[in-house]
């Protein structure tokens, strides 16, 4: 599939005034200083995203996510490297790229706070040069998809956070862009609103075929929505692949909890015989034994066969490592 977004050796450095020595008016003296330090926020980042992909762009605070997104959308000039959105350069072709891009910042709205939602769409449509007929059809379509009907005539400041996010999502989609940059679209939402936003995002990708780049600290968003994840840390890409590949790479163990019909013939001295890298018993509680299984080294079936030697198994429970824990290990 042809690439929709191409990023090649992208870098961004910020020049910061060097802090003045301790003393009175330190802040002011720092501002006046002619000495600078360079902060390399993004360092030689390269990736390519195909049309129709849904990609998570994640990393700890200060990793360089927003700086990358700002360069991708033409807001910031890179210090080095190149970006192409469907073959266009966001800095040289800013207007044309803006028509191809929809951007949602969960932390701040692009709607007019005191105006009814509908009026914000009118203003945005005028800014994008969308004709009245097309605009009306588009708003009807989006109101239907995102269920905006009940608050279309309500001022933005009176919306709940979940409603506001849906209204903002419609604003990002109004000009029918091919690519969406979503920055924390579920931030602050309760579980019900989160679920509905995730469903909308899924259908925007699957039904409308939009290419989506999602930045979030919510690992459930990533796990439920993204086919691929790119991890940035201290300005460089640490991982680019599927969620399964990421799990395998981090190699956190699967937990197997086995309940035997009788007390298993497994004493604390017996633990040692399991204690290799593939299967390690971590707890014995009455009839129940918990073991950590390294799925790279041993299959779940073989692990169970091993555990079967110690009694007749009544029940088995398996727990994959939480994605949040996987990511914690990566950061
Ligand atoms: N305009 C700026 N001037 C100076 N430094 C900046 C500027 N913008 C970002 N930085 C620095 O660049 C680094 C990357 O910041 P960025 O906002 O891209 O991180 P992030 O991954 O989006 O973080 P978060 O998850 O906290 O939003 C940080 O150290 C930040 O302080």
Q: Which of 11, 15, 59, 65 for a ligand 1 pocket mutation test, highest count of atoms within 8 Å of Cβ?
A: 65
At 67 the three-state DSSP class reads helix
Say if residue 35's pLDDT is above 50: yes
Is residue 160's pLDDT more than 50?
yes
- Nearest alpha carbon to residue 220 among 189, 258, 245: 189
Residue 210 has pLDDT above 60, yes or no: yes
111 CA → ligand 1 middle, Å = 24
Question: What does the alpha-carbon distance between residue 156 and residue 167 come to, in Å, rounded to a whole number?
Answer: 9
Domain boundaries, the chain: 3-248, 253-330
Question: CB under 6 Å to ligand 1: residues?
Answer: 14, 16, 39, 41, 59, 61-67
SS3 84: strand
**Matching CATH number, 253-330, of 1.10.10, 3.30.70, 2.60.40, 1.10.443:** 3.30.70
**CA 62 to centroid of ligand 1, rounded, Å:** 5
CA separation for the pair 265, 329 (Å, rounded) = 35
- For 141-199, the DSSP string reads HHHHHHT-GGGTTSBGGGS-HHHHHHHHHHHHHTT--SEEEEESTTTT--HHHHHHHHH
pLDDT at position 273 is 47
Percent helix, percent strand, percent coil in the chain, to nearest 5: 35, 30, 35
Report the mean per-residue pLDDT for the chain. 88
Rounded CA separation 288/160 (Å): 47
What are the pLDDT digits (tens) for 43-72? Answer: 999 999 999 999 999 998 899 999 999 999
Beta carbons of 235 and 43 less than 8 angstroms apart: yes
- Residue-level pLDDT at 277: 67
The fraction of the chain above a pLDDT of 70, given in percent, is 96
Instruction: Give dist(CA 185, CA 165) in Å, integer.
Output: 7
pLDDT digits (tens, 9 = 90+) for 4-33: 999 999 999 998 777 777 877 777 777 777
How far, in Å, is the centroid of ligand 1 from the Cα of 289? 46
Q: How far is the CA of 280 from the centre of ligand 1 (A)?
A: 42
Q: Which atom of ligand 1 is nearest to the CA of 70?
A: 18
Across-strand partners of 87? none
CA of 292 to the centre of ligand 1 (A): 38
Distance in Å, CA 211 to ligand 1 centroid: 24
Burial of 223 from C-beta contacts in 10 A (0-12 / 13-18 / 19+): middle
For the segment 266-321, what is each residue's pLDDT rounded down to a tens digit?
755 444 445 566 888 888 888 999 988 887 778 888 888 888 888 899 999 998 87
In the block, tokens 């003296």 appear at 29
Q: Read off the tokens for 107.
A: 């932390």
- Ranking 148-162, 171-185, 223-237, 270-284 by mean pLDDT, the lowest is 270-284
Burial-class residue 218 by CB neighbours within 10 Å (0-12, 13-18, 19+): buried
Q: Which pairing describes strands 3-17 and 80-85: parallel, antiparallel, or unpaired?
A: antiparallel
Give the DSSP H or E segment for 219: helix 219-225
Q: What is the ipTM of this complex?
A: 0.97
Calculate how far, in angstroms, residue 72's C-alpha sits from the geometric centre of ligand 1: 15
How far, in Å, CA of 170 to CA of 146, rounded? 7
How far is the first Cα of the chain from the last one, in angstroms, to the nearest whole number?
A: 31
- Residue 60 CA: nearest ligand 1 atom is 25
Tell me which range, 125-129, 144-148, 265-269, is most confidently predicted by mean pLDDT: 125-129
Q: Which protein residue's CA is at the shortest distance from atom 31 of ligand 1?
A: 62
Q: Is 251 helix (H, G, I), strand (E, B) or coil?
A: coil
Atom 18, ligand 1: which residue's CA is nearest? 64
Is residue 1's pLDDT more than 80? no
Q: Which of 14, 235, 238 to mutate to test the pocket of ligand 1 (most atoms within 8 A of CB)?
A: 14
CATH T-level fold of 3-248: Rossmann fold (3.40.50)
Look up the pTM and report it: 0.81
In contact, 258 and 316? CB cutoff 8 Å: yes
Q: If you take atom 7 of ligand 1, which residue's CA is the nearest one?
A: 14
Q: What is the 3-state secondary structure of 262-320?
A: CCCCCCHHHHHHHECCCEEEEEEECCEEEEEECCCCCCHHHHHHHHHCCCCEEEEEEEC
pLDDT of residue 276: 60
Number of Cβ within a 10 Å radius of residue 115: 15
Q: Report the distance separating Cα 162 and Cα 196, nearest Å.
A: 9
The pLDDT of residue 282 is: 84
Residue 188: predicted pLDDT:
86
How many Å apart are CA 20 and CA 205, to the nearest integer?
Answer: 49
Give the number of other CB atoms < 10 A from CB of residue 163.
Answer: 19
**Ligand 1 atom at minimal distance to the Cα of residue 69:** 18
* Residue with CA closest to ligand 1 atom 27: 61
């Amino acid at each position: 599939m042809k690439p929709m977004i191409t990023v090649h050796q992208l870098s961004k450095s910020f020049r910061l005034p060097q802090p003045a020595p301790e003393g009175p008016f330190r802040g002011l003296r720092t501002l006046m200083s002619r000495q600078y330090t360079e902060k390399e926020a993004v360092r030689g980042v390269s990736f390519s995203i195909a049309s129709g992909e849904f990609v998570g762009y994640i990393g700890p605070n200060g990793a360089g996510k927003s700086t990358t997104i700002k360069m991708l959308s033409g807001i910031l000039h890179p210090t080095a490297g190149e970006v192409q959105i469907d073959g266009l350069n966001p800095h040289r072709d800013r207007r044309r790229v803006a028509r191809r891009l929809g951007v949602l910042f969960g932390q701040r709205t692009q709607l007019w706070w005191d105006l009814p939602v509908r009026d914000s769409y009118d203003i945005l449509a005028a800014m994008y040069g969308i004709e009245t007929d097309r605009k009306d059809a588009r708003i009807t379509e989006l109101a239907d998809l995102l269920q905006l009907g009940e608050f279309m005539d309500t001022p933005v400041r009176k919306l709940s956070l979940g409603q506001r996010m849906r209204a903002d999502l419609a604003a990002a989609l109004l000009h029918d862009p091919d690519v969406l940059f979503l920055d924390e679209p579920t931030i602050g939402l309760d579980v019900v609103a989160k679920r509905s936003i995730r469903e909308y995002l899924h259908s925007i990708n699957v039904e409308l075929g939009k290419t989506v780049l999602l930045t979030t600290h919510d690992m459930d968003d990533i796990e439920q929505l993204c086919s691929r994840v790119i991890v940035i840390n201290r300005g460089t890409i640490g991982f680019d692949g599927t969620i399964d590949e990421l799990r395998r790479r981090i190699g956190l163990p699967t937990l197997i909890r086995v309940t035997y019909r009788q007390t298993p013939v497994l004493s604390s001295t017996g633990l040692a015989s399991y204690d290799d890298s593939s299967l390690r018993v971590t707890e014995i509680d009455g009839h129940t034994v918990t073991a950590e299984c390294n799925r790279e080294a041993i299959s779940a079936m073989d692990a169970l066969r091993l555990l079967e030697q110690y009694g007749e198994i009544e029940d088995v429970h398996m727990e994959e490592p939480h994605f949040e824990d996987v990511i914690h290990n990566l950061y």
